[in-house]
Amino acid sequence: MREFSSFAISFCGVCVATGGIYMLIPEGRMTKTVKYIIVLTLISAFIGVFSVNLSINFQNRSNKSQYAESERGEKVMGAVFEQALKMNDIEFEKIVIFTDKTEEGSITITKIQVFTNENREKVVSAIGNGNAYDIEIVS
């Protein structure tokens, strides 16, 4: 909280100083140049403030958040596969996606169950060749 209040005080001070300098600029040939310099100074100050190297340790997340992340990933992937089936005019009841988390932390699809009466070839052509994951058709 102390860092935020220090930032707010510094930011307000810079804004007041910049406004004062801006009001003191005489009208003439150099007006635009000085205004550009003031704007560039403010932009560089913002970049300096927001480019602080933050080291956040994401390894200590709870299992609950990891489960939620995996669940979100499955929902997004499910929506992608549903859209692919709809675009190919394949009627289906639902799609179930089975995933696994690799050592690097990425989520991979291991199996897709499609509840449909369509033939396997048509479903495979719509959602992929199935080399990376198993496709199971459930009638």
Residue 112 sits in a domain of what CATH number? Answer: 3.30.300
Per-residue tokens: 54: 């933050």
At residue 17, the pLDDT reads 78
> Domain check: are 45 and 70 in the same one?
no
State the total domains in the chain: 2
- One-letter amino acid for residue 90 of the chain: I
> Domain check: are 79 and 127 in the same one?
yes
Spatial distance between the Cα atoms of 35 and 48, rounded to a whole number of angstroms = 20
Contact 95, 82 (CB under 8 A): yes
Q: What is the pTM of this model?
A: 0.47
Judge whether 58 lies within some domain: no
Facing residues of 109 across strands?
A: 99
Spatial distance between the Cα atoms of 21 and 24, rounded to a whole number of angstroms = 5
> Domain check: are 44 and 83 in the same one?
no
At residue 50, the pLDDT reads 59
- For residue 34, give its domain range: 2-50
Per-residue tokens: 124: 């495979």
Per-residue pLDDT of the chain (139 residues), as tens digits, is 676 777 777 777 777 877 787 787 777 887 888 788 877 877 777 666 655 544 444 555 555 555 566 677 778 878 888 888 888 888 889 888 888 877 887 777 888 888 988 888 888 888 876 567 788 888 8
At residue 15, the pLDDT reads 77
At residue 53, the pLDDT reads 45
